[in-house]
Amino acid sequence: MRVLKWEWREHRSEAIKQGWYKFSRNPLSVVGLCIVVVIAFIAAFAPYVTPHPEHAGPYVDFSIARQQPSLKHLLGTDRFGRDVLTRIAFGFRYSLLLAVTIIVLSVPVGVGIGLLAGYYHGTWIDRILMRVTDIFLAVPPLILALAVTAVLTPGLFNAAMALSIAWWTWYARLVYGIAASYRNEYFVRSAEVLGERWPHIVFREILPNCISSIFTKMSLDMGMAILVGSALSFLGLGAQAPTPDLGTMVADGSKYLPDLWWIAVFPAFAIMITVLGFNLLGDGLRDMFAIEEL
Amino acid sequence: MLGFLGRRIALSVFGLLGLSLLIFSISRVLPGDPVRMAVGPRAPEWVAENIREQMHLDKPIYIQYYYWVRGALRGDFGYSLYSRRPVSRDLKEFLPATGELAVFTSLIIAVIGIPLGVLAGRYSNSWIDNLVRVFCYFSASTPSFVFATLFLLLFSYVLHWFPIVGRISLSVPRPPVVTGMITVDGLISGNFTAFWNTLWHMVLPAISLALPGMAQVARITRASIYDNLGKDYIAFERGFGIPNRLIMSKFLLKPSLIPPVSILGLEVAVTLGNAFLVEFIFNWPGFSRYGINTMLQKDLNAMSAVVMVIGVIFVIVNIFVDVAVAFLDPKIRLGSGRRA
């Protein structure tokens, strides 16, 4: 027993080593990983790494308002005198929080529906579930999310909920395709012959085969979710002032564009870099797992 | 082919019916009284009562749905509580502006995105491939509204190359309205100043809208060209002594276009969504800006109409995309291998 466990552990460390080798072959993936780690670090320790943590909230000091980037305020100050650098660091928190919430809300639903429809491929369960999915895909996700947020009170959590309503469909589609392709494999058939019930087959036999695709899609989606989430807050339907949200900051700054350019431009770059990091990381994972259907 | 098309259209109609149900339920769970919001707090109760009756809001919910669908099929979405006009009139006024912007955007996506991908796939791992890759990463990682904001700052405010906002300069006389698209109307009536002026106004919004889609299309074209270049039939043609240029144009391009064309539908969805933000930033008097305003104002009728119209456009575009793919892919056209 002990030997078995040891062997398994050895095997796992070997697998990790091989995975890392494949992953690090592409320098861009490593760059992506670094960006994500740095941003996650900044977000986690925002109060300790920023010069003016008190500027994250409702802070007003008009005597230092609208200052250009300088040594004292590296990225300038906004129209209330708040340090833009500090607010961007705190903005990462809300962007990551939003993306994680979207994924936590939408992945279980999408994966569950995709697995069921894929396992019952060709039956009425499949037809009903996938037709419902098609309905949600019949309208661009951002617009569906906008319609839902318009009905709810604007806020970070409601924005995440609205986006999840449109988001789960992608996971349903992805997992459905994989599950349907495994449905007639021998290991699924054997489990059926052994008399296993559907929860065992769906979650213990089919799901493990979808995990790498799901994780890769999640990594790519983190970037996408941050991107779309910032679009919602740009329109004022996401996090509300004085929350330092990157999209809200760009929207706020774009009102003062030619003169106070730094208020809008630096948060805009922050969004770009965050999304870029997650995209590079996701692409690296995709190459590592050799997934084609994403 | 006809059977394929028929099945496709039947599914779309079903999808739209579902969408109507979805949108209807979203618009009816609105907290607060839409009639009260429209008439204001000081209007007497009988006025609100009258409007409620006019809009069938006093009836049970399934009858409301029946009235709504019946109206929608006739192109009647009721009154907008926000602009206080029939929603259909608003749509007629705002759709053409978005239409010309969307057409221009799609042209940019196809005309620049596909050749970029072909070049990158043909000369893979060269400097041009790397350049295209970097470009794709940056375009795909940047929201359209960020591009819009940065372009506005750089090209309009700093360099003064392009106008700041709007659709046509005030000094330019507008052509008579035929289609509502100023570029088309300008060409019809021979008013070329208006045509060029509108085109000039369209450049920045269209590019901001096109960049993410362009990146996707270029990336997928590159992958498919690269894959097909390694296939046996290309090696065979090479061995047969067919000139490279002929292979590229005659044998490689058409099958390689199947994946990028099939994702065009998805790109249209992304573009329609992004148009909501880009029109807002450039103050483009289009359908999406109208849609945003109705959503921010919680204007039920107009909001459901906007989402429904977008759903219809999206479905129609997807049917066209499927037909185009069927045209490119004989496996689908001849009906032997229906794709799952």
Contacts of B278 in chain A (CB under 8 A): none
Name which of B251, B227, B230, B261 is nearest B113 in CA terms: B261
CB-nearest partner of A138 from B15, B274, B280: B15
Quote the CA–CA distance of A79 and A59 in Å, as a whole number. 11
Are B310 and A150 inside 8 Å of each other by CB?
Answer: no
Question: CB burial class (10 A; 0-12, 13-18, 19+) of residue A293?
Answer: exposed
Q: Does B235 touch chain A (CB under 8 A)?
A: no
Name which of B100, B93, B95 is nearest B201 in CA terms: B100
Quote the CA–CA distance of B103 and B6 in Å, as a whole number. 26
Are B152 and A265 inside 8 Å of each other by CB?
Answer: no
Cα nearest neighbour of A131 on chain B: B15
How many residues does this entry show for chain B? 340
Task: Read off φ and ψ for residue A77, nearest 5 degrees.
Answer: -125, 155
Are A151 and B270 inside 8 Å of each other by CB?
Answer: no
Number of H helices, E strands in chain B: 17, 0
Are B140 and A279 inside 8 Å of each other by CB?
Answer: yes
List CB contacts of A31: < 8 A, sequence separation 6 or more.
A277, A280
Are B142 and A275 inside 8 Å of each other by CB?
Answer: yes
Please identify every stretch of chain B with a pLDDT value under 50, giving residue numbers as ranges. Answer: 336-340
C-beta neighbour count of B162 within 10 angstroms: 19
CB-nearest partner of A138 from B142, B149, B311: B311
Are B145 and A231 inside 8 Å of each other by CB?
Answer: yes
Q: Does B280 touch chain A (CB under 8 A)?
A: yes
Question: CB burial class (10 A; 0-12, 13-18, 19+) of residue A98?
Answer: buried
Cα nearest neighbour of B25 on chain A: A148
Please identify every stretch of chain A with a pLDDT value under 50, giving residue numbers as ranges. Answer: 1
pLDDT of residue A293: 59
What is the nearest CA distance from B42 to chain A, expressed in angstroms? 24
Are A231 and B16 inside 8 Å of each other by CB?
Answer: no
3-state secondary structure (DSSP) of residue A77: strand
3-state secondary structure (DSSP) of residue B184: helix
3-state secondary structure (DSSP) of residue B39: helix
Contacts of A134 in chain B (CB under 8 A): 11, 15, 18
Which B residues 86-145 touch A at CB under 8 Å?
137-138, 140-145
Q: Does A140 touch chain B (CB under 8 A)?
A: yes
At CA B337, angle to CA B332 and CA B338, rounded to 5?
70
How many whole angstroms from its chain centre is CA B76? 23
Q: Does B23 touch chain A (CB under 8 A)?
A: yes
Cβ-contact B146, B153 below 8 angstroms? no
Global pTM value? 0.85
Question: CB burial class (10 A; 0-12, 13-18, 19+) of residue B310?
Answer: buried
Distances (CA, A) of B285 to A46, B94, B252: 41, 7, 42
Quote the CA–CA distance of B255 and A51 in Å, as a whole number. 56
Quote the CA–CA distance of B12 and B315 in Å, as a whole number. 6
Q: Does A53 touch chain B (CB under 8 A)?
A: no
Quote the CA–CA distance of B223 and B280 in Å, as a whole number. 34
CB-nearest partner of B19 from A139, A149, A228: A139
List CB contacts of B192: < 8 A, sequence separation 6 or more.
B186
Cβ-contact A271, B146 below 8 angstroms? yes
CA dihedral A122, A126, A130, A132 (to 10 degrees): 140
pLDDT of residue A35: 94
Name which of B7, B9, B2, B1 is nearest B335 in CA terms: B1
Q: Does B20 touch chain A (CB under 8 A)?
A: no
Cα nearest neighbour of B297 on chain A: A150
Task: Read off φ and ψ for residue A81, nearest 5 degrees.
Answer: 85, 20
List CB contacts of B323: < 8 A, sequence separation 6 or more.
B5
B156 DSSP 8-state letter: I
Cα nearest neighbour of A122 on chain B: B340
B14 membership: H or E segment, kind and range: helix B2-28
Are B276 and A272 inside 8 Å of each other by CB?
Answer: no
Are B145 and A279 inside 8 Å of each other by CB?
Answer: no
Cβ-contact A50, A90 below 8 angstroms? yes
B294 membership: H or E segment, kind and range: helix B287-296
Task: Read off φ and ψ for residue B227, nearest 5 degrees.
Answer: -60, -50
How many whole angstroms from its chain centre is CA B40? 35
Distances (CA, A) of B112 to B108, B146, B201: 6, 21, 20
Task: Give residue B136's identity as a one-letter amino acid code.
Answer: C
Distances (CA, A) of B51 to A52, A151, B126, B214, B293: 53, 21, 67, 47, 22
Quote the CA–CA distance of B21 and A51 in Å, as a whole number. 51
Quote the CA–CA distance of A37 and B210 in Å, as a whole number. 31
Q: Does A165 touch chain B (CB under 8 A)?
A: no
Q: Does A254 touch chain B (CB under 8 A)?
A: yes
- Structure token digits, residue A107: 């992945």
In terms of DSSP H, where are the helices of chain A? 2-24, 27-44, 46-49, 84-119, 124-137, 141-151, 156-182, 186-193, 198-200, 207-234, 246-254, 261-289
What is the nearest CA distance from B264 to chain A, expressed in angstroms? 13
Q: Does A143 touch chain B (CB under 8 A)?
A: yes
3-state secondary structure (DSSP) of residue A82: coil
Terminal-residue alpha carbon distance, chain A: 39
Quote the CA–CA distance of A46 and A52 in Å, as a whole number. 10
Contacts of A144 in chain B (CB under 8 A): 307
C-beta neighbour count of A249 within 10 angstroms: 28
Quote the CA–CA distance of A137 and A146 in Å, as a whole number. 15
